[in-house]
Amino acid sequence: QVQLVEFGGGLVQAGGSLSLSCAASGRTFSLYNMAWFRQAPGKEREFVAAISWSGGTTSYVDSVKGRFTISRDNAKNTVYLQMNSLKPEDTAVYYCTSKYPADSRWSSWGQGTQVTVSS
């Protein structure tokens, strides 16, 4: 498993942008699919975006399509989430996670980073 640490959360006004980073330990980062989830107060953790081990395939929850972009740099063991046109409903703790492509469940999780969007 990899160890994951998120960076980049903060407070931003609606319509603004934030960029999250997730740094992974270990030499096998490039073998893992990566994803971002988020959890708002009183709500279930939800999927936000995912990227394949090669970076060739990405997917997004409908509510962030066209506003968020997931990317990765395997040379830096880092996955990113660029968030534009932020809305108050994007307020949540954002978590980075990983899994091998053949696995059905996301296995390693970071500690999370708070994103707060004010109206």
Q: Is 16 exposed, middle or buried (0-12, 13-18, 19+ CB in 10 A)?
A: middle
> Phi, psi (5° rounding) for residue 14?
-55, 140
Residue type, 105: R
Q: What is the pLDDT of residue 82?
A: 98
Closest alpha carbon to 79 in 12, 20, 16? 20
Q: C-alpha distances in angstroms, 1 versus 28, 38, 63, 95?
A: 9, 21, 30, 16
pLDDT less than 70: residues of the chain: none
- The predicted pLDDT at position 26 comes to 78
CA–CA dist 108, 2 (Å, integer): 6
